[in-house]
């Protein structure tokens, strides 16, 4: 029963557009009433009706240590006693920056912001200011936040809601945003040639999470790196999802490819609204007040957000075995889901990298937005609701990666696998 959630959703629609403060929460892709969450602890969410769910969203990635982690909560509580914001520098900001630089390869300087969108938007502005060029290349289905430049052929909620052209994005902005299919290196080479000396940056999710979990094919990221070196293009990794989730040094460490600039969010805030962008000193020194590329924020480096992120990252740095455990759990889930799906004879693809995973009802490989969109997403809707009824909370869209947290137990994983067996039996 979700009677309280239904009532709250009806009430919310009277004062909040669509009843939600972020579109994918509205369940429009899967239908039905969104759950209103009352609390969370460890691997579990509890809705307004006190139903418990095994959580595979992890607040869209940041709760890598589980919800309401004791050390993180204690650090937030202690910091709050000294005020929630100053609008002035703190030593904690320095400690946070030093910690990140110690963990991540190829980052000399880093600037804190308040969201992943802000981080990506700022990185693009910096790349344009640094190179003196205006155009960028992004990839279809990659979502880099809701800044105007990024809403051209974006994934995530834009794909979920089937919004092809976003009102409010001017033609000029759209014309400066060039798009290619993810994993299509030849298309990038052609675009670069057609727009010689006009491209400031190539921005990419090194492991995409906004069209499901999509892995880079061998040579794709390395090829982008070579193009950027040759053409004086700033290479930006959007690690809002992958940063500090795939490894202490993120995708750069895991995939052995260096970017010029990297953007962060999610895990870096430990559940608080935090983002950051950083990279090579020669580029980052163009940001004000060192340089003339302006970026500012009243709540950038907010002490509550900083202590939550610092505590989370310190735990991850001091206990690197967490990454091995997370990957083991994800592989266990992948392999056993694979076995259950095989029993049904239904076409399926399971993509997995580190602690990111997604299920696609498809009879062909899913390696870009086109292949993700052509999967049987109507069947995914049925699967989602059947799993929800069995206490498994999956992302309410076929275009979103699942994120595991490290307090998931083998029993939780086995319950998820059994729920999948029952769900498929019910909907097929």
- Where do the domains of the chain lie, and which CATH numbers do they carry? 3-68+320-427 (3.90.1150.10), 70-318 (3.40.640.10)
- From first to last of its 428 residues, the chain has per-residue pLDDT tens of 899 999 999 999 999 999 999 888 989 889 999 999 999 999 999 999 999 999 999 999 999 999 999 999 999 999 999 999 999 999 999 999 999 999 998 999 999 999 999 999 999 999 999 999 999 999 998 999 887 777 775 444 444 445 445 667 777 777 889 999 999 999 999 999 999 999 999 999 999 999 999 999 999 999 999 999 999 999 999 999 999 999 999 999 999 999 999 999 999 999 999 999 999 999 999 999 999 999 999 999 999 999 999 999 999 999 999 999 999 999 999 999 999 999 998 999 999 999 999 999 999 999 999 999 999 999 999 999 999 999 999 999 999 999 999 999 999 999 999 999 999 999 98
The side-by-side arrangement of strands in the sheet containing 261-264 is: 109-113, 275-279, 261-264, 234-239, 199-204, 135-140, 177-181
Whole-number Å distance between alpha carbons of 37 and 388: 14
pTM of the model: 0.94
Q: Which of 133, 138, 153, 266 is catalytic?
A: 266
Place of tokens 């190829």: 106
* Given the residues 53, 143, 383, 393, the one annotated as active site: 143
Q: Which residues contact 216 (CB under 8 A, 6 or more apart)?
A: 182, 183, 206, 207, 255
Q: SS3 of 19, please?
A: helix
The count of residues in the chain is 428
The set of residues, in sequence order, having a beta carbon less than 8 Å from that of 277 and lying 6+ positions away, is: 110, 111, 113, 119, 120, 122, 123, 126, 261, 262, 263, 264
Q: Which one, of 328, 406, 383, 410, lies nearest residue 32 by Cα? A: 383
What does the alpha-carbon distance between residue 133 and residue 127 come to, in Å, rounded to a whole number? Answer: 8
Beta strand 275-279 pairing with 261-264 = antiparallel
Which positions ≥6 away from 136 have C-beta within 8 Å? Answer: 124, 127, 128, 149, 176, 177, 178, 199, 200, 201, 202, 203
Q: Give the pair of three-digit tokens for residue 90.
A: 């703190």
Contact between 346 and 361 under an 8 Å Cβ cutoff? The reply is yes
Q: Which residue has the tokens 């759950």?
A: 35
Report pLDDT for 155: 45
Catalytic residue among 238, 260, 368, 412: 238
Position 154 scores a pLDDT of: 47
Rounded to whole angstroms, the Cα distance separating 100 from 248 reads 9
- Within 13 Å and on the Cβ side, how many CA atoms surround 382? 11
Order the strands of the 52-55 sheet from edge to edge.
Answer: 37-41, 44-47, 52-55, 392-393
Q: Residue 159: how many CB atoms within 10 A of its CB?
A: 26
Show Cβ contacts of residue 28 under 8 Å, excluding neighbours closer than 6 positions: 160, 161
Is the bond preceding residue 300 a cis peptide, omega within 30 degrees? no
Cα dihedral 332, 334, 337, 343 sign: negative
Q: How far is CA 387 from CA 50, 81, 390, in A?
A: 17, 41, 5
Q: Measured at the alpha carbon of residue 312, what is the angle toward residues 308 and 314, in degrees to the nearest 5?
A: 120
- Give the whole-angstrom CA distance, residue 243 versus residue 226: 22
Compute the distance between CA of residue 358 and CA of residue 351 in angstroms, rounded to an integer. Answer: 5
Residue 238 appears among annotated catalytic residues: yes
Question: What pLDDT was estimated at residue 153?
Answer: 57
143 carries an active-site annotation: yes
Backbone phi, psi, residue 68, to 5°: 50, 45
């Amino acid at each position: 029963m979700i009677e309280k959630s239904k009532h709250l959703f009806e009430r919310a629609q009277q004062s909040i557009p669509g009843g939600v403060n972020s579109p994918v929460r509205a369940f429009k892709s899967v239908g039905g009433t969104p759950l209103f969450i009352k609390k969370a602890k460890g691997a579990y969410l509890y809705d307004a009706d006190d139903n418990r769910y095994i959580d595979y969203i992890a607040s869209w990635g940041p709760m890598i240590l589980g919800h309401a982690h004791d050390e993180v909560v204690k650090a937030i509580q202690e910091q709050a006693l000294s005020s929630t914001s100053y609008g002035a520098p703190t030593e904690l900001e320095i400690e946070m920056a030093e910690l990140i630089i110690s963990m991540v390869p190829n980052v000399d300087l880093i600037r804190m912001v308040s969201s992943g969108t802000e981080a990506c938007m700022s990185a693009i502005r910096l790349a344009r200011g640094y190179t003196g060029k205006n155009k960028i290349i992004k990839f279809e289905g990659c979502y880099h936040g809701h800044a105007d430049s990024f809403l051209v052929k974006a994934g995530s909620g834009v794909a979920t809601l089937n919004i092809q052209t976003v009102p409010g994005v001017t033609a000029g902005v759209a014309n400066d945003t060039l798009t290619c299919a993810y994993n299509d290196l030849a298309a990038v080479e052609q675009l670069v040639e057609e727009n010689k000396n006009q491209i400031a940056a190539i921005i990419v999710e090194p492991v995409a999470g906004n069209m499901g979990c999509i892995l880079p094919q061998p040579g794709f990221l390395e090829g982008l790196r070579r193009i950027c070196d040759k053409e004086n293009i700033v290479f930006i990794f959007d690690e809002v999802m992958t940063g500090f989730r795939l490894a202490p040094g993120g995708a750069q460490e895991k995939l052995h490819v260096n970017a010029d600039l990297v953007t962060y969010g999610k895990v870096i805030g430990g559940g608080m609204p935090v983002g950051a962008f950083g990279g090579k000193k020669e580029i980052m020194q163009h940001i004000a007040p060192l340089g003339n590329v302006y970026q500012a924020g009243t709540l950038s480096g907010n002490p509550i957000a900083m202590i939550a992120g610092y505590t989370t990252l310190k735990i991850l740095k001091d206990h690197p075995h967490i990454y091995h455990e997370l990957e083991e759990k994800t592989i266990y889930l992948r392999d056993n889901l694979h076995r259950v799906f095989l029993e049904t004879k239904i076409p399926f693809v399971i993509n997995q990298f580190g602690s990111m995973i997604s299920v696609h009802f498809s009879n062909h490989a899913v390696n870009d937005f086109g292949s993700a969109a052509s999967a049987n997403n109507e069947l995914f809707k049925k699967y989602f609701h059947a799993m929800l009824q069995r206490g498994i909370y999956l992302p309410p869209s076929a275009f979103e990666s699942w994120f595991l947290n490290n307090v998931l137990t083998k029993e939780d994983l086995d319950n998820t696998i059994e729920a999948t067996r029952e769900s498929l039996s019910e909907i097929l």
